[in-house]
């Protein structure tokens, strides 16, 4: 109990001392956006907040230096087990997330206040997975699966990101270079699987066979002995099916890792079409503290959207993520307003309010936190106002935001998370202090004092 008290007090002191970056000049006098985190249970974000406190304490202490060679690891255990405190966020969504402007700004905020533990989950050479300071690419023999419509009867083993790099050719390469020393390969073994050679900084770390009787996820971790920039390369040795689900790139230091896993055109039903055996294994490996879900823009424009089934389907998606990683916090973020051109006017899509209402119902009914971007930006008609303001916050298509718009949302969302986190620290501090207040002991003292002659 005493230890918990010390940790809570330390976390509160550390949090109130973190650096707050000055507002960017282009945000001066912009419209005010207040985003709050709805959590009627008071517990939906507990795991995330606890992880932030642990990460913050270690980061403020200066963190850990690389502890030498980690070696190669091919088991299913999470690399988290031998890392310093790292808070991992996995953010799923549509093109708003795929652009990595909103998520990039959030990643920057978390890095400023809690430290950065690396660029996160990367699909080398795939559009939307470029990260600041990271270079990646692949040869022409690779193709990406998962970007279009998914055939439920087909191969849906797409892993953590819902996307996968595939080749059946020998001599194909993919690579990623970053200022990080740990590279965790997410792969798929399958019948007819080929062999790959994994190298770090030009030194081979072994040949791995991806052939097996049944499809199953597998992992291969390579860690450097030193800090600094390192390059991981995967090369296919000969003809044979090779599927790379992604590479988790991290450093051996405390901080936050923010994975942006958006897919253009995605709807909330898309994750339900993925193979959850593979996805659950990948999520267990990634071990996120917070899963963020940002869908709704695309299905709001579907003429056949069924509002009778949409809340249940959304709740089912949340339930599957809960089942895969029960300890993780989950946050649902409603989409921004969207409009269509009708004659010479832009008219907001009427279904959007229903989509947001359904998402809130699904989130709160499953004990999940919720953030209403649609309502807070002004509801129906607000996308037109954001597009025509002098600050140019929404794009000409009235679907997406501009870079300034996404940054405004990121600032407001981070402020909302920050405020909710601080409130949780105060609540936990109060909870820990209560047992130390021995009211039964205080009562006799007061009675004895009352009986003393004056």
Instruction: List residues bridging with 183 in a β-sheet.
Output: 222, 249
Write the pLDDT tens digit of every residue in 130-139: 888 899 999 9
pLDDT of residue 9: 54
Share the mean pLDDT of the chain: 88
212 burial type by CB count under 10 A (0-12 exposed, 13-18 middle, 19+ buried): middle
d(CA 336, CA 331): 16
Which two structure tokens, joined as six digits, stand for 132?
Answer: 């600041």
Give the Cα separation of 295 and 190 in Å (integer).
31
Q: Work out the pLDDT band at 14, boundaries 50, 70, 90.
A: low
Predicted pLDDT of residue 450: 45
Residue predicted with more confidence, 86 or 132: 86
3-state SS class at 204: strand
pLDDT-derived band at 97 (thresholds 50, 70, 90) equals very high
453 pLDDT tier (thresholds 50, 70, 90): very low
Rg (CA), the chain: 24
Helix (H) or strand (E) holding 48: helix 46-60
- As a whole number, mean pLDDT of residues 380-408 equals 96
Give the pLDDT band (50/70/90) at residue 10: low
What pLDDT, in 10s, does the model give residues 360-386? 999 999 999 999 999 999 999 999 999
| 148 against 406, higher pLDDT | 406
Q: What is the pLDDT of residues 289-315, one digit of tens each?
A: 999 999 999 999 999 999 999 999 999
- Whether the per-residue pLDDT at 175 is higher than 60: the answer is yes
- pLDDT category of residue 425 using cuts at 50, 70 and 90: confident
pLDDT band at 445 (very low <50, low <70, confident <90, very high): very low
Distance, CA of 99 to chain centre: 14
All structural domains of the chain, each given as residue ranges with its CATH number in brackets, are 2-21+39-451 (3.40.50.1110)
What are 102's two structure tokens? 């909103």
pLDDT of 74: 62
- CA 234-66-110 angle, to 5 degrees, is 85
Q: What would the mean pLDDT of 396-424 be, rounded to a whole number?
A: 96
User: Regarding predicted confidence, which is higher, 106 or 1?
Assistant: 106
How many residues appear in the chain?
A: 454
- Which candidate, 208, 224, 189, places its Cα nearest to that of 66? 224
**Strand 290-294 with 182-189, pairing:** unpaired
pLDDT of residue 65: 42
Q: Any idea which of 120-124, 147-151, 400-404 has the lowest mean pLDDT? A: 147-151
Q: Which of 29-43, 201-215, 343-357 has the lowest mean pLDDT?
A: 29-43
- The CA distance from 399 to 55, in Å, is 36
User: Looking at residues 239-252, what average pLDDT do you find?
Assistant: 97
Is a pLDDT exceeding 60 seen at residue 33?
Answer: yes
Check residue 167 and report its DSSP letter.
Answer: E
Contact 147, 243 (CB under 8 A): no
- What DSSP character marks residue 321? H
């Amino acid at each position: 109990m005493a230890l918990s008290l010390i940790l809570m007090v330390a976390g509160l002191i550390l949090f109130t001392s973190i650096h707050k970056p000055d507002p960017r000049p282009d945000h001066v006098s912009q419209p005010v956006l207040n985003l709050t985190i709805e959590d009627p249970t008071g517990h939906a974000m507990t795991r995330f907040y606890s992880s932030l406190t642990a990460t913050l304490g270690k980061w403020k202490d200066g963190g850990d230096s690389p502890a030498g060679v980690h070696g190669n690891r091919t088991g299913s255990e999470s690399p988290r087990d031998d890392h310093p405190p790292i808070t991992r966020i996995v953010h799923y969504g549509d093109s708003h997330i795929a652009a990595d402007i909103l998520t990039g700004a959030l990643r920057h905020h978390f890095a400023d206040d809690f430290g950065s533990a690396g660029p996160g989950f990367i699909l080398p050479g795939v559009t939307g997975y470029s990260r600041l300071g990271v270079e990646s690419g692949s040869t022409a023999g690779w193709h990406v699966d998962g970007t279009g419509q998914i055939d439920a009867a087909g191969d849906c083993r797409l892993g953590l990101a819902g996307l996968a790099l595939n080749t059946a050719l020998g001599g194909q390469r993919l690579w990623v270079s970053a200022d990080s020393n740990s590279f965790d390969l997410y792969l798929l073994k399958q019948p007819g699987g080929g062999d790959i050679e994994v190298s770090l900084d030009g030194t081979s770390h072994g040949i791995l066979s991806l052939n097996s009787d049944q499809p199953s996820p597998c992992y291969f971790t390579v860690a450097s002995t030193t800090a600094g920039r390192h390059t991981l390369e995967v090369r296919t040795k000969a003809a044979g099916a090779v599927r790379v689900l992604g590479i988790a790139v991290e450093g051996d230091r405390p901080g936050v890792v923010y994975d942006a896993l958006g897919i253009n055109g995605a709807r909330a039903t898309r994750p339900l079409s993925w193979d959850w055996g593979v996805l659950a294994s990948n999520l267990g490996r990634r071990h996120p503290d917070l899963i963020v879900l940002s869908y709704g823009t695309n299905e709001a424009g579907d003429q056949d959207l069924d509002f009778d089934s949409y809340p249940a389907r959304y709740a089912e998606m949340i339930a599957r993520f809960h089942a895969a990683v029960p300890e993780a916090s989950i946050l649902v973020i409603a989409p921004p307003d969207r409009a269509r051109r009708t004659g010479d006017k832009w008219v907001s899509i009427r279904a959007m309010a229903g989509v947001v209402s359904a998402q809130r119902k699904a989130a709160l009914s499953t004990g999940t936190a919720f953030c209403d971007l649609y309502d807070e930006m002004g509801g129906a008609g607000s996308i037109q106002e954001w597009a025509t303001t002098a600050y140019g916050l929404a794009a000409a298509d009235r679907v997406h935001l501009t870079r300034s718009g996404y940054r405004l949302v990121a600032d407001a969302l981070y402020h909302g998370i920050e405020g909710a986190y601080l409130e949780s620290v105060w609540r936990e501090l109060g909870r820990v202090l209560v047992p130390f207040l021995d009211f039964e002991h205080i009562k006799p003292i007061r009675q004895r004092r009352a009986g003393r002659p004056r």
